[in-house]
Chains A and B, each alone.
Chain A
Amino acid sequence: MLRRTLLSAVGAAAAMLALSGAAMAQDTLKIGLILPMTGPFASTGRQIEAAAKLYMQQKGDTVAGKKIQLIVKDDTGTADVTKRLAQELIVNDKIAVMAGFGLTPLALASAPLATQAKVPEVVMAAATSTITEASPFIVRTSFTLPQATVPMADWAAQNGIKKVATLVSDYGPGIDAEKAFAAAFTAKGGQVENLRVPLANPDFSPFLQKVADAKPDALFVFVPSGIGAQFMKQFVERGLDKSGIKLIGPGDVTDDDLLNNMGDVALGAITTQHYSAAHDSPENKAFVEAFKKANNGMRPNFMAVGGYDGMHLIYEGLKKTNGEGGQALVDAMKGMSWTSPRGPVSIDPQTRDIVQNIYVRKVERKDGELYNVEFATIPNVKDPVKAAKSN
């Protein structure tokens, strides 16, 4: 009798264990992906969403025995909407991780929420250096603007460029780019003249004329990627390409998403950035092919790779913590390294910012399409702003 009771008790316990195991397997981990899906920055949202979905499709939707659910929210590129959405996702949906963030103000708006709720915030796009300092829960998989710009200054100085005119859109990232470039380039003995263009500026002609009259060796340009095409056209229209002025800058101006539509005006532009769809590696070939196949031929750009790597970071972090979020997840992400489609990357344990190769590229025609073709590599670049602070 006693034996039977014991047995049934053990059986019941075993059944309960099995049941709870099954219940655990059905536990879902939610990832809140907050992106600008409409409005002027929709291209960013589109690319990142496509990349995140591709990653889940390739790697399955179960990690550490838990089902991953992706919740995509559209913040239209407005900071107060981002903040509200982040709050809803944390409180109502109890997300384990929030990710996305197309622009700097959007990433900053949700930073206090990440700290308070101890929810890791994976920044996949926004590129102002200070973002990771806004909360100890922010980890970034995109890049920082100085990270892409300072190598440009080094390259220019090493390649016989002495005098550079900079032309940037007059807003946060533009001024960041201008300062980072000017500081690095003058330190190498170069000469810089700075021009700032209002963000809402329909016609570049006066600024370009000023550049033509100044006769620099190169024109360093940073404008938001949508305006890049307008800029390139007017650069060529003014005959600046034929006057021997090299066009250089961080890669936003020759964004892979737009490059093909720009036409031949883009040929020859030299940029530094962390990703090109033409990056020559087996990982990238597979990535580009899968991305195009899943998205009706759309070419991945640097935003897409930020989203793809962001998902990778979340997946691998969850594997390490066995599905636990919060502080443990952030700690797991620190110092992680892997081979991304853009090449080898790692997360700096001190700054939670990405460390990656920066490539020098030139726009060339390849198989009938325009690509940023990489011809030099600066390995393992850390964000120079934070590196300077810690010294």
Chain B
Amino acid sequence: MLTILFDGIAYGMLLFVLACGLAVTLGLMNFVNLAHGAFAMAGGYVTAVLMNRYGVPFLLTLPLAFTVPAVIGLVLERTLYKQLYARSHLDQVLFSIGLVFMAVAAVDYTMGSQQQMIQIPTWLQGRVEILGIQVGLYRSFIIAVCGVLVVVLQYILTQTRFGSRLRAAVDDPRVARGLGINVSVIFAATFAVGSGLAGLGGALGAEILGLDPTFPLKFMIYFLIVVTVGGTTSITGPFLASLILGIADVAGKYYVPSLGAFVIYTLMIVVLVLRPQGLFARAR
């Protein structure tokens, strides 16, 4: 029972690491970036290539799994995404889904379509028993990383000058510009961080979720569910939503396996009917 709860939390945390970048770009910047999974995949492949070809230890690959997608994100933001901020959401959807297909084809071409496998260090493998609960070490690691991320992100958004500038830039770019805030730099930086977070999620998730060129398409639905259920105006919303969804999904599959796969969707529909703006967001 408690093991199920633990697994659910770990799974939810993983969903959060994967989706929080999207919560940043979609939620804060109001840009429908369906290509989020492509950045996650980029992070996963950075880790896989560094580990398998160059023998870099797993933990050392993680900063790079953040940096490389962040740089890619920055370049794409400056060249492509920037043009679409003012456009309709439909244009943004079409543009970013196009990017996804290009990323899938590019990775398929360069890396091959087979599953990429990574070997996490031995001290992260296996499980220990704490107070009668079977605790997987790697899952605990994900929970720890995710916990740190939530605190840091929440702190940046609510307590720092950058955070308040970002919120101002999102709410009304014209007035923000008038106040001397360099909106375009803030957007670029935010987008880069969002992409980097996606990359980190991809790198952490490769062990549990697997990694192949269809990754962005396979997991797009999960990112979107998290952000939809959580609401898009904060980091805590998607965080709590990931936890609820993770636990519900794992528990559903354990207790009612025949319905298990539908629990997460049912939950999403219920939330959307009751609170269309998301569970933890004010209506705008």
Contacts and interface: CB of A to CB of B under 8 A. Distances in A.
Do chains A and B stick together as partners?
Answer: yes
Interface of A: 38-40, 42-43, 195-196, 198, 200-203, 205-207, 209-210, 226-227, 229-230, 233-234, 236-239, 257-258, 261-263
Interface residues of B, number: 37
B138 A237 contact: yes
Given A39-B113, A43-B114, A258-B114, A207 B257 contact: yes
A43 B113 contact: yes
Contacts, number: 95
B160 interface: no
B38 interface: no
Contacts of B10: 205
B115 A258 contact: yes
B250 A239 contact: no
B3 interface: yes
Contacts of A203: 7, 11, 208-209, 249-250
Contacts of A210: 254, 257
B254 A226 contact: no
Interface stretch (B53-61, B68-76, B214-222, B267-275): B214-222
Contacts of B7: 203, 205-206, 209
Contacts of A230: 115, 208-210
Interface in B90-142: 108, 112-115, 117, 119, 125-127, 134, 136, 138
Interface of B: 3-4, 7, 10-11, 108, 112-115, 117, 119, 125-127, 134, 136, 138, 207-210, 212, 214, 218-219, 222, 249-254, 257-258, 260-261
Give the 9 A-B residue pairs with the shortest CB-CB distance, closest first.
A206-B253, A42-B113, A206-B254, A198-B261, A205-B7, A261-B117, A230-B210, A202-B209, A206-B250
Nearest to A42: B113
Nearest to B222: A202
B257 A202 contact: no
B262 to A, nearest CB: 9
A237 B127 contact: yes
A304 B11 CA distance: 37
A219 B117 CA distance: 23
A254 B136 CA distance: 24
Contacts of B112: 42
A333 to B, nearest CB: 32
Contact of A209 (B115, B207, B222, B254): B254
Contact of A198 (B4, B138, B260): B260
B101 to A, nearest CB: 12
Q: Identify which of A198, A207, A209, A239 gathers the most chain B CB atoms within 10 Å of its CB.
A: A209
A205 B252 CA distance: 12
11 contacts: A43-B113, A205-B10, A206-B7, A206-B253, A227-B115, A237-B126, A237-B136, A239-B134, A258-B117, A262-B117, A263-B117
Nearest to B109: A38
B210 A229 contact: yes
B8 to A, nearest CB: 8
Contacts of B119: 263
Given A200-B218, A206-B4, 17 more contacts: A39-B113, A40-B113, A201-B261, A202-B210, A206-B251, A207-B253, A210-B254, A210-B257, A226-B210, A229-B117, A230-B115, A233-B207, A236-B125, A237-B127, A239-B126, A258-B117, A261-B117
